[in-house]
Chain A
């Protein structure tokens, strides 16, 4: 099968609309071939990853700076967190901050919405269910498909960038309705209570399957957004699966029980405690900030605590008094950034990080080289506040 391009798309690929647009079509063509697309279709919203200097490095800065001269976004485009909160004191190097700001400038020039958030679905009025979008950032792609009924593949930073520049994406994989029907089920054979339990389920499932859509059965029908986010983020971290569903299917089951739970914990829970608590990967939404402030109930954190959330929600939380409750408890609310691959959480500074995020645990252990104490939120509050 080959990707059929229209005359206009062929022209764009042949640099008739400039080199940068041609690069975008070259990307779309490669992912179209990879996913067996017959053609390109329009998308109504794009969410980009590849904003944190810690992840894209100097090569990424150079690529974006150069292409921002020509590339312009044709559809609303939100962007992921960057490396730090520029409104707060930090001891990051001048080079880090300078390079980070080059990235911010490049995205701004191309026309992005400066969201610096991995949870655009909690901040913006996204297109209605059934619409095609292009979401990089694995948790956002999985949430868009599974909870908000949008149609996206599990895009990469570069493929979503190509969609922003062209307004198009390949018609393939999870954009095709039949593929959105799960063909494989993870059979839950243990009790799931906390958001961490759902994260562990997601991490195990991503590792175990190579299908694009997975069923967890009706057991997950009524889970709240905190649990959905934990599940989506972990699923997106360990595998290629871009969607979960509660549709029941017959046959093709993989069991998830105590033993499978333990195998994930053995891999990611690498220390008994830590010197800092990090909450927010994905960033915390309003519901979670409220939940946290209720749990704290006037107590104070006994350890340093970083709470990552979008700036617009921080402002809302400040107006409603929730931010003050968290700050009075000793929590530090950090905006525009996230636990994952933040230069604020390094092994030079911390021996261990306490978190309830399976996604954060993966990246802290494997990329940042920081040990992780993986604990659910309720237990964190019980153990580390007084």
Chain B
């Protein structure tokens, strides 16, 4: 079973990986361990999950402006998501971090798609055509 969603391309490139999805925003500075890629915020629904090699689907990043460096550090340390999808409004922190880290970043217009994405576990991100393909495997 697979399904395609049209997105806005913010940072180009291609990626694939298993889906890690949340409805909660992320503070990349305070909530993600840069060395391991683990979500460390006990109040976050992804607490204990690792972002490494996943396609991370979340509304937008919040808080610290330094979060952009955090995304770059995740990539430098080999523990970053392979692709990122913002579902609400792509924020400046995520966009600039992905631009430097060369992580494909798409924006999906509308939170309502999160419920749909939760039914799938694999994603292919095409940051050229702007198509996000999600699959159940």
Q: In the docked arrangement, what's the CA distance between A181 and B64, Å?
A: 24
Cβ-defined contact, A156 with B68, below 8 A: yes
- Partner of A367 from the list B29, B99, B107 (CB cut-off 8 Å) is B29
Chain B residues, CB < 8 A from A29? 99
Q: A59-B72, A366-B30, A366-B40 are in contact. Are A156 and B63 (CB under 8 A)?
A: no
Cβ-defined contact, A34 with B76, below 8 A: no
**Residues of B in contact with A, size category:** 35 or more
Q: A155-B65, A156-B68 are in contact. Are A240 and B60 (CB under 8 A)?
A: yes
- Partner of B64 from the list A153, A162, A237 (CB cut-off 8 Å) is A237
Q: A30-B11, A34-B10, A240-B91 are in contact. Are A55 and B72 (CB under 8 A)?
A: no
**Is A50 located at the chain interface by the 8 A CB criterion?**
yes
Tell me the nearest residue of chain B to A51, going by C-beta: B66
**Is A380 located at the chain interface by the 8 A CB criterion?**
no
* Distance to closest chain A CB from B117 (angstroms): 19
Cβ-defined contact, A30 with B99, below 8 A: yes
Cβ-defined contact, A49 with B107, below 8 A: no
**Is B18 located at the chain interface by the 8 A CB criterion?**
no
Q: A210-B89, A267-B43, A362-B30 are in contact. Are A157 and B11 (CB under 8 A)?
A: no
**Secondary structure at chain A's binding surface: helix, strand, loop or mixed?**
helix
- Partner of B10 from the list A30, A50, A137 (CB cut-off 8 Å) is A30
Cβ-defined contact, A56 with B92, below 8 A: no
**Is A347 located at the chain interface by the 8 A CB criterion?**
no
* Distance to closest chain B CB from A8 (angstroms): 20
Cβ-defined contact, A59 with B77, below 8 A: yes
How many pairs of residues, A versus B, come closer than 8 Å at their CB atoms?
Answer: 143
**Is A206 located at the chain interface by the 8 A CB criterion?**
yes
Q: In the docked arrangement, what's the CA distance between A237 and B65, Å?
A: 9
Cβ-defined contact, A239 with B107, below 8 A: no
Q: In the docked arrangement, what's the CA distance between A137 and B72, Å?
A: 18
Q: A50-B69, A57-B73, A239-B62 are in contact. Are A35 and B92 (CB under 8 A)?
A: yes
Q: A23-B100, A366-B40 are in contact. Are A33 and B92 (CB under 8 A)?
A: no
Cβ-defined contact, B63 with A237, below 8 A: yes
A58-81 interface bits toward B, Cβ cutoff 8 Å, 1 = contact, 0 = none: 111011000000000000000000
Q: In the docked arrangement, what's the CA distance between A59 and B101, Å?
A: 11
Q: A63-B100, A158-B100, A239-B25 are in contact. Are A50 and B95 (CB under 8 A)?
A: no
**Is B90 located at the chain interface by the 8 A CB criterion?**
yes
Chain A residues, CB < 8 A from B43? 267
Q: A158-B100, A366-B31 are in contact. Are A50 and B66 (CB under 8 A)?
A: yes
- Partner of B63 from the list A33, A52, A58, A239 (CB cut-off 8 Å) is A239
Question: What are the 7 A-B residue pairs with the smallest beta carbon separation, nearest first?
Answer: A59-B76, A30-B99, A156-B68, A136-B65, A34-B95, A59-B73, A34-B90
28 contacts between A and B (CB under 8 A): A30-B96, A30-B98, A30-B105, A33-B8, A49-B65, A50-B65, A50-B68, A50-B69, A52-B66, A59-B76, A136-B66, A141-B65, A153-B92, A155-B65, A155-B92, A156-B97, A157-B96, A158-B68, A158-B72, A158-B97, A160-B65, A206-B63, A207-B62, A239-B62, A240-B62, A267-B43, A362-B30, A363-B29
